[in-house]
Amino acid sequence: MSVQQAIEVLRAGGVILHPTDTIPGLAADALQPAAIQKIYDIKGREPGKPLLLLCQDLEMTAQYVAHIPPHARKLVSQFPQLPLTLIYPQAQNLPANLLPPNGSVGIRIPAHAPTQQLLKGLGRPLASTSANLSGQPSPTSMANIDVRVLKLVDYVLNLPAVETQADAVASWVLTIEESGFNIIRQGVQHPPLLQWLKKQSY
């Protein structure tokens, strides 16, 4: 099981199961609509429920959103190791079946070396979501993935335990507002982030 093999599967339009900086995820090339549809089919997910975008860095992010506000850049730079999903109000250059009706997109830059290797090797963002069937609890480790999911994916990137997260927590989710942020979901406890956000006007 290797990152390079996973990249080849992604290029061919396949769906992989892989560990991330948060909970295990399903991923596909975010620029291939058919690959995105495979994720929906595997999960039994309703159309229109958006997927997450994983990007290598802010440079890659800038290709797929209309604008990155200065306060969003500052947040990402201030907490590079913290799993932060930022919801940008206007996506661009992405397949319609990846996005919700309002055209927004949630993007995370993962601080996880194997996921960064996938992004660098593919050279494109990943469409991502938790590795569970729709309506079921999200798995907290690669060890408790539903066997039905395992049978439907095209490749499982099973890394050594040192490179995976045990009993992981989903990322923080924040919407980007005009002059600050709105917390949609809290992730792992991180008082410095909360203190930083309180200083912003939102």
Predicted pLDDT of residue 54? 98
Work out the pLDDT band at 163, boundaries 50, 70, 90.
very low
Predicted pLDDT of residue 164? 46
Query: Among 16-25, 48-57, 105-114, 152-161, which is the least confidently predicted range?
Result: 152-161
As a whole-number percent, the residues of the chain with pLDDT over 90 amount to 72
Q: CA 5 to CA 12: how far, in whole Å?
A: 11
Query: Among 61-75, 108-122, 134-148, which is the least confidently predicted range?
Result: 134-148
Q: CA 155 to CA 172: how far, in whole Å?
A: 27
Domain count of the chain?
1
Domain range holding 190? 3-198
Q: CA 181 to CA 202: how far, in whole Å?
A: 6
**CATH at residue 188:** 3.90.870.10
More confident residue, 187 or 75: 75
